[in-house]
Amino acid sequence: MSDKDLIDVKELAPAEVAEVDLYQRREKIYTRHIEGFFQRIRLFTGWPLLAGYFLLPWLTWDGRPAVLFDLPARKFHILGLTFWPQDFPLLAFLLIIAAFALFTVTAFAGRLWCGYTCPQTVWTSIFMWIEQRFEGSRNQRMKLDQAPWSAEKALRKGLKHGGWLFVAFATGATFVGYFYPIRDLLWEFLTLSSGKWQVLWTLFFTCATYINAGWMREQVCTYMCPYARFQSVMFDRDTLIVSYDPGRGEPRGSRRRDVDPRALGLGDCIDCELCVQVCPTGIDIREGLQYECIGCALCIDACNSVMDKMSYPRGLIRYTSERALEGEQTHWLRPRVIGYTLVLLVMAGLFSWRILDRTPLEMTVIRDRTELYVTTQDGSVENIYTLSVANMDEAAHEFEVSLEGLPGASLIGETRHTVDAGEVRRITLRVREPAGNANTPATVVEFRLQSTDQRELEISSESRFMRPMS
């Protein structure tokens, strides 16, 4: 039998319970490259995210960037829609929907977001790929770090950090491009004519990307991200998580490929520690579920590759539930998942309806409070109102103001106004009611604002008409 039939492994000591110091020195994690089914899935989930992030600021819509958060103008363009600060409740609602979507996915399949689409995971994977291209495999990187400084080491390190800085700068500039037209931004960078704020924020996000994805890596997931801390609240015994099957794998130990492990009293785990070497957070999944696990399935692909070499069935490490590991049947449809899903669907439907039914017009009516009312010589009663009209459309419109809810009353002042796109116009009007028209001290009235050139563009707002006590 050749030496290739042997798989050398290091025997692990039993896990010991140790107290972890929050401020202890970080031990650098040297991850091993692995390929497999789940890594191909991560590739297909990561690339659309990257493509969308880097390409969206370059797309145009009606002569402007398709996505642009124009803070000076207080307008937020998203494809064909324009949002204003008055639409902030929509943003809050969208964040709530995103949170419930995260809760739903987590309750059903654990930390899929973290393992496959989280920007920290995707960008860290890019930085790790650059590191492997210039510094080599896991063992080569370990030897390189331990070797004394030389021209070759300086070159490899310099190329790696140069690649990191390039990706970090592209990330930072693209992020700023969502708030400042990216074509203008890059041209100003090339001609050294950028404003200080554009430069400052680009450098800030460049440094943030470089530090988070290049240096901190798993520490962001372990110490900075709150999701790792409260995820266990959303887990139950039926949640799909990356798990090691101790019933099948224990006891661990090395063996030859042609030897029946049962004859040696061993399980299927050959204790190769490949699952530990590929883990981006440096944990041993065989010690059970840990909050550092981001569900990336690297350990699954690594273990499956070993099982294939040993001619053992795959799935020693797999996506499964705690209930399935105990030999019971996983309950896919359960109250928590059904509840999250129904709430998510209802909120998504309400949000979609609100977007489709949204009117790019806002009107606020403020009654003059210096005088509740004015009584004229003929006994008529007048109230003074100020209408604040915001045209949130991309085109100018002529609007006409009308009054409802007060029969016989008349509007005194100009009732037709042309409001430019993005303009906020203040209109002062007087409402006159003939004498003896009503005996109540106050009546609810409704001001209606309608576009004369686009009749479906209208809005109304209520106020009160005040009279002297009879």
pLDDT digit string (tens) for the chain, length 470 residues: 344 334 443 333 334 444 555 556 678 899 999 999 999 998 888 888 899 999 999 999 888 889 999 888 888 888 878 888 878 888 889 999 998 898 899 999 888 889 999 999 999 999 999 999 999 999 999 999 999 999 999 999 999 999 999 999 999 999 999 999 999 999 999 999 989 999 999 999 999 999 999 999 999 988 888 887 777 788 889 999 999 999 999 999 999 988 888 889 999 999 999 999 999 999 999 998 888 899 999 999 999 999 999 999 999 999 999 999 988 998 888 898 999 999 999 999 999 998 888 888 889 999 988 888 898 888 899 999 999 998 888 889 999 999 998 988 999 999 999 999 888 899 999 999 988 777 788 899 999 999 988 888 899 999 999 988 76
Give 157-197 pLDDT, tens digit per residue. Answer: 999 999 999 999 999 999 999 999 999 999 999 999 989 99
Strand 416-419: give its sheet, edge to edge: 416-419, 397-404, 442-451, 458-466
For the chain, what is the largest distance between any 2 Cα atoms, rounded to a whole number of angstroms?
Answer: 118
Q: Three-state DSSP class for 430?
A: strand
Which H or E run includes 87?
none
Domains of the chain: 31-83+118-234 (no CATH), 361-466 (2.60.40.10)
- Percent above pLDDT 90 for the chain: 60
pLDDT at 18: 44
The rounded distance, in Å, linking the Cα atoms of 160 and 127 is 9
| Contacts by 286-292, CB closer than 8 A, 24 or more apart | 286/244, 286/246, 286/249, 286/252, 287/15, 288/244, 289/241, 289/243, 291/222, 291/228, 291/229, 291/231, 291/232, 292/218, 292/221, 292/222, 292/228
Separation between Cα atoms, residue 438 and residue 434, nearest integer Å:
9
pLDDT of residue 378: 86
- Output the pLDDT for position 4: 39
Other residues' Cβ atoms within 10 Å of the Cβ of residue 469: 6
